[in-house]
Chain A
Amino acid sequence: MVRVRKNLIPYMFLIIPLIIYLVWVIGPMFYTFYLSLTDWDGLTTPTFIGLQNYQKLFEDKVFYISLFNNLKWLVSFITIPVVLGLALAMVLNRAIPGEKFFKMSFFMPMVLAMVVSGLIWGWMFHPAGGLINNFLVATGIMEKGPGWLSDRDLVLWSIILVATWRQVGYVMVLYLAGLKSINPQLLDAATVDGATGWQTFWRIILPLLMPVTVIVIVISVIDSLRAFDLVSVMTRGGPANASSVLANFMYIESFNNYKMGYGASIAVILFFLSLIFIFIYLWRVMKDELEY
C-alpha cells in the first residue's frame, strides 16, 4: 500500500502541468493534422475532404513563393548572424575597454518586441522620409533611394536584415558562454607549441565550440521557420506576396480568408520542415542525458 503511494508521488507533481500541456500543446498538434484534411471556415463543423487541401497547396503559386522565402531566410540565418555573432564573441571574450557597453548594444535588439523593431525599421526604410534613403541621397551615393519595402526584389532582404540585426546578439551570447567553458590551459598549451592565433582558432577553439554551433544552428533554423511578426508588421507579405513566408501565408488564409482547413495544411508542412531539426535538438539533449 505504502509502496504504491510512493510510486504515485511524481505523478501528483506532474499531473496538472502535464494535462495542461497535453490539452494546449500536444493535442492541438495532432488536431492540426486532422484539420488539414478538412474544409473548415472556423465557424461550422469541419468536413472531411481527404487530401484536397494538399493538392491545392501544391498548385498554389503563393505557397512556393513563401516556401522559397523561408528557405532564403533560413540560409541567411544560419550563416550571417552565426559568423557575426561568433566574431563578436571572439573579440569581446577578453578584457577590452568598454566591454559592457559593447555587449549591451548588441544584446539590446533581442529585448525589443519584434513588432517594435519592425515599426522602427519600417520607418527607417520609408522611401521619402526614412533615414536610409535620406542618407543615400545626402551623401550622393544615389540620386533617389530604392523602395526597400516596395521593390519586389529587395523587400525580403530588407526584412531579413532586421531579423539579422536582432539575431546577432543572441548568437554572440551563446558563443560567449561557450568560450568561457573552454579550458584556458588548452589555449596556453597551443601558444607554447607555437600555434598562431589563427591556427588556435581553427584547430582548437572552433572544434571545441561545436556543441554550441549545433544548438545555434538548430535555434536559427527553428526561428527562421517561425518568422511571422516582422513580415506581418512591415509588409503583410506584400508587395504581391513577394515577402510572404509560410507563417504569414497560413495566417492570412486562415484568419482573413477563413480557409482554416487550408491553413492547417500549411502548418503541417511547416511542422515537417521543423521536424528534423527538432530531432537533432532532442538527440543532443539525449546525448547529454546518457553522459550523466
Chain B
Amino acid sequence: MNTQYFKSPWRILVYLILILATFLWLIPILTGLVTSIRTFDDILYNGFISWPKEITLGNFQEAWERGGLNRYLPNSFIITIPSLVLTLLLSSLGAYALARFRFRFNRAIFFLFVAGMLLPFQVLMLPVFKLTDFLGLYDTYWGLIAFHTAFQLGFCIFMLRNYMRTVPGEIIEAARIDGCGELRIWWQIMIPLTLPALAAIATLEFTWIFNDYLWAIVLLRSDNLKPITAGLATLQGQYVTDWPVIVSGALIGTIPTLLVFLFLQRYFIEGLTLGSTK
C-alpha cells in the first residue's frame, strides 16, 4: 500500500472526508441490496434500521415471474442490440466521409449532426410519434429501434469523425494508390484502426439505449413489448405497497449495464471524455 500520500494531517483529513463521501454515495445501492432480501412487513414493523427477522429471495422471484421482468429484460436486449449495431455501422460510414473527404457541404453536414445530438428530446417527441405511427411501426420493436438508431447517429458521428481524423493519411493514400476501393478502405483499414473509439462509444451507447425510458413509453404501448425501464414503472404501479419487490426489480434491471460497466470500465470512461477535452 502506498503510504506516501499521508504526509500531512491535511491529507489525512481530506482522506477521511473522502471515505465519508464515498460511503454516502454508496448508501442507495446498499439500501437497495438490504431492502431486496427483506420482507415489507418486517421493515414496516421493525423499522428500516433493524436486524432482519428473515432473509428471503422471494422478492426477486416475485419481480421476475409475476412482475413480468422475465419479459421486460429480454425485450431490452431485443431493442438495444440492433439499435447499437445499426447506429455504429451507419455512423462509421458517415464519419468516414466527413473525416476523410473534402467536399462542399462537409462542415455543414457535420454541424447538423452535432446540433441534433444536443436537442432536447421533447422537440422530437410528437413528430416522431406521428412518423412511427405513419410507418406502421407504432407499438413494435422496430419503431423504437429506428428512433434510437437515428438519434444516436449524432453523437456517434461526432465522436467517430473526430477520431478518424487522427488516423495518419499516408495509410489511406497508400491503399488508394494500390487501387483499393473506397468501401474496402473503410472496412479493412478505417474500421480496424477505429476499434478503440468504437469500443468506447459502443459501451456508452449500450448503457444509454438500454436505460432509455421516455422513448419506450412514447413509442410502445403493449406490455409484452416493454423494455425493463418502462416495465419497472409498470411494476411500481402494480406493487405500489410492496417496496422490496419494486427495489428487487430495479436491481435486476441494473445488472446488465453494471456488468458492462465493470468489465469495460476503461472504455466507458474513455467514451465519456473522448469528445469533451481536446
In the complex, the answer to whether B236 meets A28 with C-beta atoms within 8 Å is: no
In the complex, the answer to whether A263 meets B126 with C-beta atoms within 8 Å is: yes
Q: Is B131 an interface residue (CB 8 A)?
A: yes
Could you tell me the distance between the alpha carbons of A32 and B97 in the complex, rounded to whole angstroms? Answer: 30
Report the minimum CB–CB distance from B269 to chain A (whole Å).
Answer: 6
What 0/1 pattern do residues 2 to 22 of B give for CB contact below 8 A with A?
111100000000110010011
A residues 228-261 in Cβ contact with B at 8 Å: 228-229, 232-233, 246-247, 250-251, 254-255, 260
Q: Quick one: closest A residue to B3, CB to CB? A: A97
Known: A111-B258, A113-B257, A263-B126. A119 touches B276 (CB 8 A): no
In the complex, the answer to whether A32 meets B123 with C-beta atoms within 8 Å is: yes
- Chain A contact residues (Cβ within 8 angstroms of B): what range? 35 or more
- In-complex Cβ contact of A123 among B47, B217, B247 (8 A): B247
A residues 254-285 in Cβ contact with B at 8 Å: 254-255, 260, 263-264, 266-268, 270-271, 273-274, 277-278, 281-282, 285
Q: Is B120 an interface residue (CB 8 A)?
A: yes
Q: Quick one: closest B residue to A105, CB to CB? A: B22
In the complex, the answer to whether B112 meets A119 with C-beta atoms within 8 Å is: no
In the complex, the answer to whether B49 meets A138 with C-beta atoms within 8 Å is: yes
**Which of B14, B28, B128 has the most chain A CB atoms closer than 10 A to its own CB?**
B28
In the complex, the answer to whether B121 meets A226 with C-beta atoms within 8 Å is: yes
Could you tell me the distance between the alpha carbons of A29 and B151 in the complex, rounded to whole angstroms? Answer: 12
Q: Quick one: closest B residue to A255, CB to CB? A: B218
Q: Is B1 an interface residue (CB 8 A)?
A: yes
What 0/1 pattern do residues 86 to 115 of B give for CB contact below 8 A with A?
000011011011101101001101011111
Report the minimum CB–CB distance from A67 to chain B (whole Å).
Answer: 13
Report the minimum CB–CB distance from A283 to chain B (whole Å).
Answer: 10
A residues 121-135 in Cβ contact with B at 8 Å: 121, 123-124, 126, 128-131, 134-135
Chain B residues with CB under 8 Å of A94's CB are 5
Number of A-B contacts (CB under 8 A): 295
Interface of B is mostly: helix
Report the minimum CB–CB distance from B177 to chain A (whole Å).
Answer: 14
Report the minimum CB–CB distance from A28 to chain B (whole Å).
Answer: 3
B residues 41-83 in Cβ contact with A at 8 Å: 43-44, 47-49
**Which of A16, A106, A112, A255 has the most chain B CB atoms closer than 10 A to its own CB?**
A112
In the complex, the answer to whether B122 meets A247 with C-beta atoms within 8 Å is: yes
Q: Is B195 an interface residue (CB 8 A)?
A: no
In the complex, the answer to whether A25 meets B151 with C-beta atoms within 8 Å is: yes
Q: Which segment, of A4-12, A74-82, A147-155, A184-192, faces chain B?
A: A4-12
In the complex, the answer to whether B97 meets A174 with C-beta atoms within 8 Å is: no
Could you tell me the distance between the alpha carbons of A274 and B272 in the complex, rounded to whole angstroms? Answer: 21
Could you tell me the distance between the alpha carbons of A262 and B243 in the complex, rounded to whole angstroms? Answer: 36
Chain A residues with CB under 8 Å of B272's CB are 170, 173-174
In the complex, the answer to whether A274 meets B25 with C-beta atoms within 8 Å is: no
In the complex, the answer to whether B15 meets A16 with C-beta atoms within 8 Å is: no
In the complex, the answer to whether B31 meets A131 with C-beta atoms within 8 Å is: yes
In the complex, the answer to whether B153 meets A17 with C-beta atoms within 8 Å is: yes
Chain A residues with CB under 8 Å of B127's CB are 27-29, 31-32, 35
Report the minimum CB–CB distance from A135 to chain B (whole Å).
Answer: 7
Could you tell me the distance between the alpha carbons of A168 and B18 in the complex, rounded to whole angstroms? Answer: 14
- In-complex Cβ contact of A11 among B1, B31, B97 (8 A): B97
- In-complex Cβ contact of A129 among B1, B43, B125 (8 A): B43
- In-complex Cβ contact of A115 among B97, B106, B211 (8 A): B211
Q: Quick one: closest B residue to A119, CB to CB? A: B250
Chain B residues with CB under 8 Å of A176's CB are 273
- In-complex Cβ contact of B90 among A17, A134, A211, A222 (8 A): A17
- In-complex Cβ contact of A119 among B22, B119, B214, B232 (8 A): B232
- In-complex Cβ contact of A225 among B21, B120, B147 (8 A): B120
Q: Is B116 an interface residue (CB 8 A)?
A: yes
Known: A24-B131, A111-B258, A124-B27. 13 other contacts (CB 8 A): A24-B146, A24-B147, A29-B123, A91-B14, A94-B5, A107-B269, A108-B25, A111-B260, A124-B28, A129-B44, A216-B276, A247-B122, A271-B119
A-B contact pairs, 28 of them (CB 8 A): A10-B100, A10-B103, A14-B98, A16-B90, A16-B93, A23-B131, A23-B150, A24-B131, A24-B147, A42-B129, A102-B22, A107-B269, A108-B25, A108-B261, A111-B258, A112-B258, A116-B250, A123-B31, A123-B35, A129-B40, A129-B48, A226-B121, A226-B122, A229-B213, A232-B214, A255-B218, A270-B122, A278-B118
